[in-house]
Amino acid sequence: MDIFVARQPIFDRNLRCVAYELLFRDGISNAMNHPDGDAATRELLSHSFLSIGLGTLTHRKKCFINFTQNLLLQKLPLAFPKENFVVEILENIRPDIEMQLACLDIRGNGYALALDDFEYHPKWDPLLDLVQYVKIDFQKTAISDMGYITRTLRKYPIELIAEKVETRLTYKMASKLGFMYFQGYFFCRPQIVRSRQVPSSKLNLLIIMAQARDPNITMTDLEKVISRDVGISIKLLNYLNSAFFCRGAKIKSIKHALILLGLEQLTRFVSVITLTTLGSDKTDELIRQSSIRGRFCELASPHCGLSGKAPELFTLGLFSLIDALLDDTMEHLLEKLPLSDVIKDALIQGEGNYAGVLSLAVQYEAGNWYKVDEMVQYLGISEEILPEKYLAAIQWADALTV
């Protein structure tokens, strides 16, 4: 069974990723025919915990998972480990006495509960005494209602999560209203400041990053590119000698690393390490998301009729959030970089052969399954390979950006 799992980050006030909401589907076509099937949800949860491994998906952070009316009444959450596990109660459940008793039992067994897509009504009062989190959708709830809802909830020991936060302005507004956590893709948006100049130090790092991804680069050229920045060289060697690689012989030089790892693998590491340095003042999740996109695009390329283009597609995904990292427009940043026109067209205009692969990565990470299906049809890619490639991209990025 092919399990489609996307994860959406949840941030605290310091923009540290503290949790993920997991979005499941058992197949794109199947998802559209049976979006709310209890049996499918049960199968997906079992597969995710037992086969994929929750730690792999959430990187040891809390995970929020939706449960339907029937699954809560059956107390399905009790079948899974309670550590770092938050049971989301969907907004369409009936909060009758039977449901209250089921939630009371789940809570009594040490599980955390959250109300999803919350809109206040007195009928929810009994559950508000049980839950630890309340999630409010900022795209569905009128701003004029927010103050009333948040004031009403203050009498409960609840932490508020703002959902569908897509802009920095919304994030700041939610913070002022007392929300402690934030879910949405606001962190992927640049804060454009007129006449802002990218510092020369960061511009040099960008150029190093682009040059390292030149498909025609040689080992000698790459060694020179890396050696131009002492900080990058030291970080690279420290990483390659870390426990993650478990190598017997210590890597002592860039040349030694090139011999052991090969050109292509080392260029990937250089790119991500450079990106991490560029985004040192940003949330780690932005670096992680860039890395996942890059690796996913690379892994998907042979299945989209783009065999031989994997290095360029890795670059495409990796650079897709560079505007958010540096708070500048994509056009302004890319005009300074030695990237191919096909990459620039995909990033700036959303055009060309590569743009579809990037769109597939972006829609998959957001769990927009209908859009994923459109891109699957457009690219002629088999949907069965997507879960494996995305999970592999998550594992690779998490290992690099820990």
**pLDDT over 90 percentage in the chain:** 46
pLDDT score of 246: 54
- pLDDT, average across residues 349-363: 93
- In sequence order, the 6+-apart residues with CB closer than 8 A to the CB of 7 are 20, 21, 22, 23, 57, 58, 63, 365, 394
pLDDT, one tens digit per residue, over 196-208 is 566 667 777 888 8
Q: Which domains does the chain have, with CATH numbers?
A: 4-188 (3.20.20.450), 200-400 (1.10.3210.10)
pLDDT score of 34: 47
pLDDT score of 378: 93
Alpha carbon distance 36, 161 (integer Å): 23
What the block records as the tokens of 276 is 């991490």
pLDDT score of 230: 79
pLDDT, one tens digit per residue, over 55-109 is 677 878 899 998 989 999 999 999 888 888 899 999 999 999 999 999 999 999 9
Q: Is residue 311 over pLDDT 60?
A: yes
Read off the pTM: 0.86
> Using 50, 70 and 90 to split pLDDT, how confident is the model at 112?
very high
Q: Is residue 269 over pLDDT 90?
A: no
pLDDT score of 83: 85
pLDDT, one tens digit per residue, over 159-175 is 999 999 999 999 999 99
Q: Is residue 362 over pLDDT 60?
A: yes
Alpha carbon distance 313, 358 (integer Å): 8
> Using 50, 70 and 90 to split pLDDT, how confident is the model at 397?
confident
Residue 212 and residue 267 in contact, taking contact as beta carbons nearer than 8 Å: yes
What burial class does residue 270 get, using C-beta atoms within 10 Å of its C-beta: 0-12 exposed, 13-18 middle, 19+ buried? Answer: buried
pLDDT, one tens digit per residue, over 20-35 is 998 877 665 554 444 5
| CA proximity to 292, closest of 302, 284, 303 | 284
Task: Identify any residues that bridge with 10 across adjacent strands, giving them in sequence order.
Answer: 19, 183
- The one-letter amino acid code at 240 reads L
Q: Is residue 19 over pLDDT 90?
A: yes
How many CB atoms are located within 10 Å of the residue 382 CB?
10
Q: Is residue 215 over pLDDT 80?
A: no
Find the angle CA(396)-CA(296)-CA(138) to the nearest 5 degrees.
95
- pLDDT, average across residues 109-138: 94
pLDDT score of 338: 82
**pLDDT over 70 percentage in the chain:** 88
Alpha carbon distance 89, 149 (integer Å): 18
- The one-letter amino acid code at 237 reads L
Residue 209 and residue 275 in contact, taking contact as beta carbons nearer than 8 Å: yes
Alpha carbon distance 64, 91 (integer Å): 15
Alpha carbon distance 163, 136 (integer Å): 6
Angle between helices 386-400 and 263-278 (to 10 degrees): 60
Alpha carbon distance 104, 89 (integer Å): 13
> Using 50, 70 and 90 to split pLDDT, how confident is the model at 380?
very high
pLDDT, one tens digit per residue, over 177-196 is 999 999 999 999 888 765 45
| CA proximity to 233, closest of 210, 215, 214, 256 | 256
Q: Is residue 37 over pLDDT 70?
A: no
